[in-house]
Amino acid sequence: MSVALVFVLACPALSRAAPLRVTLAVSEEGGAYQSFSETLRSKLPSDKYELKIKRADDSYGGADLYVAVGMKAALQLASRDIPTLNVLVPKAGYDKIQNQAAARTAPRSAIYLDQPIERQIALLSAALPGTRHVGVLYSAAPPELPSIRRLMKEKSINLHDRAVDHSHPLNDALESVLEESEVLFVLPDTEVYNAGTIRNILLTSYRKQVPLLGISQAYVKAGALCAVFSTPEQVAAQTIAMIERYAESGKLAAAQYPNDFEVSINIQVARSLDLRIKDADKLRDEIRRIP
């Protein structure tokens, strides 16, 4: 009997009659978290799925599948051996959870918040063809730096990197990397890029006529030239697809990058820098064609 119960629980496909219980554990209120939850609530068929939305600090109760929205919820759910899909988490964060996790039986997967480096480089090549020198700044060298360098090399782009630390304050590193670069390629590093530093970074790079390639819509609004990113709605659609597959097969697909994305351009910045750039939709279509 108990064996049968476990079997039934583990294979939701067999219990079609009862809706799949999905609990969302949301790290923060508002913003992207809210857009994601609302899209999920409106798009996930309510006859087949019973959706509960909880704050990361709440007690979650029982469910067939947990969706952790953001790192805070992901970390809280990481220690529990329950089926978990992590979304709005950076790949590096998810990798860390995977590496630290004890042996487990329940499936776990993720849809990363970041875009694959290939996609960002594709945007760079499509938006600014002919770029030969790209700069990056970081507080600690990210593990993917060698692969960024290699992928750029394949496109004949030289990567110039500078660490920002106590002996190399931001402005020194910035001025020095801008000397060598035609584009500043933003890395997800809040030590370097935050609301307090972005003024200086954008004003200095603008003065040197070096555009920024950002990692979110906020960067483009602030004054970066362009960015490729996925909206919470796009991530929600991909999440629904994974939930539906889980409902059918009882398996979670492997951790993956967002498959749908947007390109945003700050056309005023492009014009001011006298950069003739294709429009956002054209760029997105061009990048989509890249396998």
Cα–Cα distances in Å, from 165 out to 68, 140, 153, 168? 33, 8, 26, 5
Q: Does 189 bind another protein (CB under 8 A)?
A: yes
Q: Does 229 bind another protein (CB under 8 A)?
A: yes
Q: Per CB under 8 A, which region of 44-52, 58-66, 187-195, 241-249 contacts another protein?
A: 187-195
H helices of the chain, in order, are 2-10, 31-43, 71-78, 91-100, 117-127, 145-154, 170-180, 198-207, 217-222, 232-249, 267-272, 280-288
Which CB sits closer to another protein, 113 or 247?
113
Q: Does 23 bind another protein (CB under 8 A)?
A: no
The single-letter DSSP state of residue 14 is G
Would you state the structure tokens that stand for residue 264, as one six-digit string?
A: 């945003």
Of 101, 23, 114, 21, the C-alpha closest to 69 is: 23
Q: Does 175 bind another protein (CB under 8 A)?
A: yes
Cα–Cα distances in Å, from 242 out to 2, 10, 44, 86, 103? 28, 16, 11, 11, 23
Which CB sits closer to another protein, 28 or 50?
28
Question: 205 with 211: CB under 8 angstroms?
Answer: yes
Q: Does 83 bind another protein (CB under 8 A)?
A: no
Q: Does 135 bind another protein (CB under 8 A)?
A: no
Q: Does 99 bind another protein (CB under 8 A)?
A: no
Among 88, 123, 137, 228, the residue binding another protein under the rule CB under 8 A is 88
Question: 70 with 36: CB under 8 angstroms?
Answer: no
Q: Does 147 bind another protein (CB under 8 A)?
A: no
Minimum distance, C-beta of residue 66 to another protein, in the bound complex (Å): 17
Question: 13 with 247: CB under 8 angstroms?
Answer: yes
Which CB sits closer to another protein, 175 or 285?
175
Which CB sits closer to another protein, 43 or 271?
271
Which CB sits closer to another protein, 3 or 195?
195
Which CB sits closer to another protein, 207 or 289?
207
Minimum distance, C-beta of residue 92 to another protein, in the bound complex (Å): 5
Which CB sits closer to another protein, 249 or 272?
272
Q: Does 196 bind another protein (CB under 8 A)?
A: yes
H helices of 47-161, in order, are 71-78, 91-100, 117-127, 145-154
Would you state the structure tokens that stand for residue 258, as one six-digit string?
A: 């967002």
List Cβ neighbours of 192 (8 Å cut-off, separation of 6 or more).
Answer: 137, 138, 139, 164, 170
Binding site for another protein (CB under 8 A): 27, 31-32, 70-71, 75, 88-90, 92-93, 96, 113-114, 139, 169-172, 175-176, 188-191, 193-196, 198-200, 202-203, 206-207, 215-216, 218-219, 221-223, 229, 266, 268-269, 271-274, 276
